[in-house]
Structure 1
Amino acid sequence: MSAKPKNGNKGKKTPENAPGSVWFRAEKASRTRPQLSHERIIATAVELLDRDGVHKLSMRRLAERLGAHATSLYWHVATKDDVLDLALDAVFAELDLPEEHGASWLADVEAFMTGLRSVLLRHPWAAALASSRPLMGPHALRCSEFAYTALATGGFEGVHLSSAAATITHYVIGSASSEAVWRERTDEAATRSAVDAHLRARIGAYPTLAGHFPLLDKDDWDAHFHRGKRLLLAGLTSPEARG
């Protein structure tokens, strides 16, 4: 990994320090044992992200939490983006997928979608982050390989395979991101009621929205997700989906 960026390059996004670049750098070699372990840094980063979110995470706060000097931290990770990429891949490591595919490719796809949603909701910052950076870590690639293999078994290939994989992944990430944002609001029910009242007061302009705005409570999110998942899976089984 590269050393801490010089001040002259601070804030610039280059192939060397852009999101995802951590996966493409050669590993550092050292004659001395570093003060911190890679695993401890990432576990601590996930802990801080779970508690405070992405915007409050900084290299300084991470070093303080680790009780270490920033120099030790920069030996392992060059930038905050490195930390975010590594922490996000640690979340994907929690996705428990079967070692072998089952008899039903559709059941495998459903297991992937349900499992991915579960781990993303366990870490409320992860879904929004997953939609904004390359998912090229080993654990994310393992999950993608599982989904691609299931869809290929179902008859998808070429551009139709990549489109199908993107569709199921984006649905899970998008729905989990939306749910995480709403769940962070202590006034979710009041906010939804206010939106509903706003739309009904303008029913002439938004007749369909006013009649169908979802007044979900915290216990309805699962049902909401699974209804959408069933619609999506029904589309995947149609001959038209394979082109």
Structure 2
Amino acid sequence: MDKKTPRRTRREESLSKERIIEAAIDILDRSGESGLTFRALSDMLATGPGAIYWHIDNKDDLLTAACDAIVARTVQAGASGAAPRDAIRALALDLFDAMEAHPWAGAALIRAGGQLPVVRVLECLGRQVQALGVPPQAQWLTVSALLHFILGVGGQNAANMQRVCGDDVARGDLLDQVAAAWSRLSPADYPFARSMAGQLRIHDDRADFLAGVDLILNGIGVIAAQA
């Protein structure tokens, strides 16, 4: 049936796009991206694939919509009235936590490119960067640096979480294995990596992420002061 045809069945009307997206998020959280199929979605919603296709064109669109729902909640839950620097830190941490809670969303966000989930984050960061007094000619580069750091590091952490869960290996055990491998590297070729082996075992991903955000924010402060 042509999507533009106004006539719908009662079954199609009762199945909203929001219900489909929520069901997709549930499947993604439990089974990951590979578990999200229109058959699984149809079974969960007790409907036929045709009713789902009325609202969603394909799996890529569904992933983007599910990712956007997670981002929209995260953005809306952010602290209102906070100073620009604090607002950026809070948004960054909220997104990091959201990607950790929904590991599939990290990869989906990176693939979303210029689509709505990324635009939501871009808009929030951009407004705060403007409020910090960054001159117009430096705003794009500044927001891009923040955006790519947040999505890149948050997405990588989410990927690591999926790997740990998939391999059924505790995070501490995995870090011990990597640290042990680093400590055996050639001291002539990898002096820095060897020296970091001990810190790798005890580092906190969330704290490291926030420290990186602060480094960027400190640089933004310098740019704003020079304007």
**TM-score, normalised with respect to structure 1:** 0.77
Residue of structure 1 equivalent to 2:71 = 92
5+ residue gaps, structure 2 = none
Residue of structure 2 equivalent to 1:30 = 6
RMSD between superposed Cα atoms in Å = 2.6
Q: Deviations over 1:27-75 (max 9, x none)?
A: 8452224152111100000111111111221222212221111111111
- Within 5 Å, which residues of 2 pair with 1:96-135? 96-98=77-79, 101-102=81-82, 104-135=83-114
Name which of 157, 178, 181 aligns with 1:179: 157
Q: In 2, Cα distance between the equivalents of 1:176 and 1:68?
A: 35
Structure 2 vs 1, CA of residues 29 and 154 (structure 1 numbering), >3 Å: closer, same or farther? farther
Q: In 2, Cα distance between the equivalents of 1:240 and 1:153?
A: 10
- TM-aligned CA deviation for residue 84 of structure 1: 0.6
- TM-aligned CA deviation for residue 224 of structure 1: 1.8
Moved more, 77-86 or 219-228: 219-228
* 2:184 is the counterpart of 1:201: yes
**TM-score, normalised with respect to structure 2:** 0.82
Residue of structure 1 equivalent to 2:131 = 153
Structure 2 vs 1, CA of residues 190 and 115 (structure 1 numbering), >3 Å: closer, same or farther? closer
- What is the number of residues matched between the two proteins? 215
Question: Residue type of the partner of 1:239?
Answer: I
- Within 5 Å, which residues of 2 pair with 1:1-243? 28=4, 30-32=6-8, 33=10, 34=12, 35-95=14-74, 96-98=77-79, 101-102=81-82, 104-137=83-116, 141-158=119-136, 160-184=138-162, 185=164, 186-202=169-185, 203-213=187-197, 214-216=199-201, 220-239=204-223
Q: Per residue, is there more helix in 1 or in 2?
A: 2
Structure 1 stretches of 4+ with a deviation exceeding 6 A read: 240-243
- TM-aligned CA deviation for residue 158 of structure 1: 4.3
Q: Percent identity?
A: 26
- TM-aligned CA deviation for residue 130 of structure 1: 0.5
